[in-house]
Every structure is written in structure tokens, then in C-alpha cells.
Amino acid sequence: MRRQVLIGSLTIGGGAPIRVESMLKRPLGDRDGCLKQCESLQRSGCELVRVALPELEAAGHLKWLLSRTSLPLMADIHFDPALALAAIEAGCRSIRLNPGNMPLHRLTEVIRMAQEVGVVIRIGANGGSLSGRHLEAARGDRARALFLAVKEQADLLLDNGFFDIILSAKSSSVGETVRASVFIAEAFPTFPLHVGLTEAGPGDGGIVKSTAGIAGLLSQGIGDTLRVSLTDEPEREVKVGYEILKALELRMRGVNLISCPTCGRKRADVMRLVRLIEPLLEDLPDGTTVAVMGCEVNGPQEAKHAQLGIAGTPVGAVLFRDGKVEGEYPFEELPDVLPAFFRSFNNPDI
């Protein structure tokens, strides 16, 4: 039986939906900025947000933020036990520790306090902070060294009777991250695993890299919570996280929009049609498949699995439902016709 942990009312692992996380990109001292970012992240569907706690002075800001947001926060501590204790005292119900140099007797102090108040500890090893000791033990195999770093700390927590843990190992290399996560999943099959790359980079490259690693793991059934780390706004990380889950049919948030790549038969500007329907998608039920196709002859048939669709004609578009054409309209009429067409899916009685 896979174990489930609870951060406030958020369940992770043990059959819960795969969670989508992000990280605040502002210092805690910017109280209003952090609160605004939490609110915006919550609207975008983020379920857990990590926040860097680099110094003891910031614990007061953390307490302030915790009292104003309902979004679960995870305090990011590297290896300073005083910071871990301060985060717990501030009311934070999850902390992330980077296994490394924390003295063992101080770690047991953290464990005791976490146990007392019900705090989840994520053990997150990072490719950038691998110790020479673990690298040596793994004979230079960085993925195995990451695994060993996580294992050492996890064993310590488990030996001390602490079981509310989430495990993760990340690097900026897809291969390293995937192998390290597979090692962890094999050694600790019952505990929730956080998956993602670190420092994946900006733009398309960062998204592709993150997707390759995260999707590679999720498609093997590995991963209970994820973060797409991008050099971008945190809301973008959340959006990409859900897109990955949607593509793997693991979780649906928002509409599944498909559009044809177009070819020589194209009768309309597909991007123009996409722009027309995009504002209407938000009101559709999660998981609705909407197709935008380049021609009316093949489009509805090629996208017959879509519940709603629009296909270009030389002068406008046809609208189709479950592969069957419902009507044909000139382009000028589409702004009036489309809202009613999409609303009718929400309420079939219209």
C-alpha cells in the first residue's frame, strides 16, 4: 500500500491526484509581492508552493504569509536545522531539507519537532550540491550518488520513526534525474516521490527538457507531485505541469485543445480560428476536447473524437460536434455564433 502524506488538507501520494507545485520567485521580505504571487498561483491551479527561507530573520515574514494564504507552503531549508525549526515554529506544515551537511544530532531535533506538530519533510537532493562522499561511494555515477544522498537521509528519518516524507532527486540532466528517481522508487516504493528537473532553463528548451524527464517518469508510474522548474513566471510552470499531466491523460485541468498541423488542403488560417475560440474555452468543463482544423472536408472526420470542433472553409468555418457538422458560417458571423455553440455544450438543453 502506497503511503499518503498530508500537508494541511492537501494529500500527496497513496492514490491522490498527481500534484502540481511551483516556487515563489520573490524574497519573503517582499510580503505583498509574495502574497500576490500565492494568489495568482492558486488561481492557476498550483497546489503547493515552495518558498526559500534563507535566514532566520525571514521566519516572521513566513508566519505573516501563512496567516494570509490558504495555499499550502513548503519552506525550503538547505541544511540549517535552526531554519527548519524556525519554519515549523512559524506554522509551516512542510519543509524541504537538502541532505548534506546537517549534523545528525540536530536533524533528530528537527524530526522530533516535526513529529510533534505533524510536518511533512521532503528530502530533496540536488545535482549541484552532491557531496564528494556520495560521489565516491557511487564511483562517480552522479545518478547513483543522488540516490545515495536521499537514501542516507531517508533511512535516518525512518530509523527515527518518522514516516511523513516525500523523496526527490533532481539535476539539470534528464538522464541523471530519471535514473536517480527510478533508483529511489525501487528502494522506497511506498513513499511519495516529487519529480522534476532543476535549472531546466528558459523557454522551449526548458519546457522540453522538463517534459522529457517528468513525462518519462510519470509514464512509468513514478511520481506523486511535480514541479516544472523554468526560468519564467511561476504560473507558467504550473501551466506546463498540467499540460504534461493532460498529455499523459493522468489529470485534466482545462480544455484539451487539439489543432491540426495544416497541410496543402488547408482552407483557413488555423491560428486565426484558435484566437477566436480561445476566450471561450475557460467556461467549458475540464477535460472537454476541442478541435480546430484547417479544412471542412477532412477536419471533422480527423477530429471525430473531439466533442466540439471548428474547421475552416474558404469563407468561414463549419462547427461540428462529435465529428458531425452542425452548421456552416461566414467568418463575420463567427464571433456571434461561437459563444452560443460553446455554451450549448455546458448546457445541452439550450
Question: Which residues of the chain form contacts with ligand SF4 (CB under 6 A)?
Answer: 260-263, 265-266, 293-295, 298-299, 302
In the complex with ligand SF4, which residue's Cβ is closer, 112 or 265? 265
State the Cα–Cα distance between residues 285 and 345, nearest whole angstrom: 9
Supply the minimum distance, in Å, between the C-beta of residue 269 and ligand SF4: 11
In the complex with ligand SF4, which residue's Cβ is closer, 68 or 304? 304
Supply the minimum distance, in Å, between the C-beta of residue 309 and ligand SF4: 10
Supply the minimum distance, in Å, between the C-beta of residue 298 and ligand SF4: 4
Q: Is the dihedral of CA 257, 262, 268, 270 positive or negative?
A: positive
In the complex with ligand SF4, which residue's Cβ is closer, 215 or 311? 311
Supply the minimum distance, in Å, between the C-beta of residue 255 and ligand SF4: 19
In the complex with ligand SF4, which residue's Cβ is closer, 226 or 306? 306
Q: Is the dihedral of CA 324, 327, 332, 335 positive or negative?
A: negative
Q: How far is CA 248 from the centre of its chain?
A: 13
Q: Is 295 left (phi over 0), alpha (psi -120 to 50) or beta?
A: beta
Question: Which grid coordinates are listed for 166?
Answer: 516525500
Supply the minimum distance, in Å, between the C-beta of residue 303 and ligand SF4: 7
Supply the minimum distance, in Å, between the C-beta of residue 184 and ligand SF4: 42
| Residue 54 neighbours by CB under 8 Å, 6+ apart | 83
State the Cα–Cα distance between residues 99 and 79, nearest whole angstrom: 7
Compute CA distances 200 → 24, 43, 99, 197, 314, whole Å.
17, 24, 21, 6, 43
Q: Please name which of 108, 122, 67, 59 lies closest in space to residue 88, comparing C-alpha atoms.
A: 59
In the complex with ligand SF4, which residue's Cβ is closer, 11 or 262? 262
Supply the minimum distance, in Å, between the C-beta of residue 334 and ligand SF4: 18
Supply the minimum distance, in Å, between the C-beta of residue 261 and ligand SF4: 6
With contact defined as beta carbons under 8 Å apart, do 25 and 37 qualify? yes
Return the number of other C-beta atoms located less than 10 Å from residue 249's C-beta: 9
In the complex with ligand SF4, which residue's Cβ is closer, 167 or 260? 260
In the complex with ligand SF4, which residue's Cβ is closer, 221 or 261? 261
In the complex with ligand SF4, which residue's Cβ is closer, 15 or 264? 264
Residue nearest to ligand SF4 (CB): 294
With contact defined as beta carbons under 8 Å apart, do 149 and 100 qualify? yes
CB neighbour class for 26 (10 Å; exposed up to 12, middle 13-18, buried from 19)? middle
| Residue 73 neighbours by CB under 8 Å, 6+ apart | 38, 48, 49, 50, 51, 62, 65, 66, 92, 94
